[in-house]
Amino acid sequence: MKSPLRLERDSFLMAYATHRLMPFVTHWHPSVEIVYCVDGSFSIQSEDAVYQMQKGDIIVIGCCESHNFNSVVCPISYYSMVFDPGILHFLAATEQFSFRLPARHSAGWPEELREEVKSYILNIYREYTQRKCGYRMAVVSMLLKIQALLIRAFPECLELDYRQIGNKGAEILRYMSEHYLEPITLGSCADSMNFGRSYFSHLFKKETGESFHETLLRLRLSKAEWLLLYTSEPIAAVVDKSGFQNEKTFYRVFRKFYGMSPIEFRRTALEDSRDDYTEGG
């Protein structure tokens, strides 16, 4: 089995990864994430449901939907596409389609839909890794085809997404996703959105199910996790680039969520990658 590919960010991110021990902390982002299980077994919790992923399974995680990876039966291998749906907004009819599906997991899809989406995912991965001339256009065209297939399979999603245009929770989460690397506070966030601080705190808890501070920590930890796994940045740079004020706070919070230090987390990931590479020849 191959070690993780570390690919630079683009207008979307395509990543191939193997993991053994560390689950991903619960997080969310304003992007869409499509995960295809190549091999192994693991579960993904999205919102309030847990989905079991086996070889060949696909799951679509919509914009701002909280999720995590857990219950890993190692080793596992998967393709993950994370992209801003805004790159697909060429037609007015799809401007509010956020990929929030009533059936996220491919187990609830018709077999024909499952196979077609799988085919596009494999072709997208091939285009993205080979990076031949025009690969961005090829990838976006296939993402559009996946979107068209999902809209046809779940046409009610268009109506649902239009109803959510005024959703304050989504507006708050979008704001946080754009500013979580800055020294923002509940007060500064409330002020910037023209809310009273007490009302904003109540609204945030009602819309997201957790406090502003908890959500902010999860966002920053998600960024730190990505930097630890897919870059060689020193810990001081990880702290700075994930929005934490100092290393002491970062170490304390990281250990609380992951049960190990950031250094141990990275070392374990590297050891697993070497083992995967050795096993795969």
Give domain limits for the chain: 12-163, 168-275
9 Cβ contact list (under 8 Å, min separation 6) = none
Q: Residue 153 has what pLDDT?
A: 92
Residue 246: CB atoms within 10 Å: 11
Q: For residue 61, is pLDDT > 50?
A: yes
Q: Tell me: pLDDT of 166 over 50.
A: no
Give pLDDT, residue 272: 58
**Mean pLDDT of the chain, nearest integer:** 79
Q: Taking the domain 168-275, which CATH number applies?
A: 1.10.10.60
Q: Closest Cα to residue 30, out of 122, 100, 92?
A: 100
pLDDT the model gives residue 263: 92
First and final C-alpha spacing in the chain: 8
Residue-level pLDDT at 2: 38
User: Does 9 score more than 90 pLDDT?
Assistant: no
- Which CA distances in Å does 118 have to 35, 112, 231? 10, 10, 28
Lowest-pLDDT range, 1-10, 33-42, 78-87, 179-188?
1-10
Q: Is the domain covering 12-163 a CATH 2.60.120.280 domain?
A: yes
Mean pLDDT across 144-170: 71
Instruction: Judge whether 63 and 86 are in contact, CB under 8 Å.
Output: no
Helices (H) and strands (E) in the chain, counts: 10, 6
Compute the residue count for the chain: 281
Region 12-16 average pLDDT: 54
Mean pLDDT for 114-118 is 96
The pLDDT, as a whole number, for residue 281 is 42
Could you tell me if residue 122 is left (phi over 0), alpha (psi between -120 and 50 degrees) or otherwise beta?
Answer: alpha
- What pLDDT is attached to residue 5? 37
- Between the ranges 216-225, 231-240, 271-280, where is the mean pLDDT highest? 231-240
List strand residue ranges (DSSP E) for 31-157, in order: 32-46, 49-53, 58-61, 67-83
pLDDT digits (tens, 9 = 90+) for 65-90: 778 877 666 677 888 888 877 777 65
Query: Which tops the pLDDT comparison, 93 or 177?
Result: 177
Q: Name the more confident of 74 and 164.
A: 74
> pTM of this prediction?
0.65
Task: Output the pLDDT for position 81.
Answer: 86
Tell me the C-alpha distance between 192 and 63, whole Å: 22
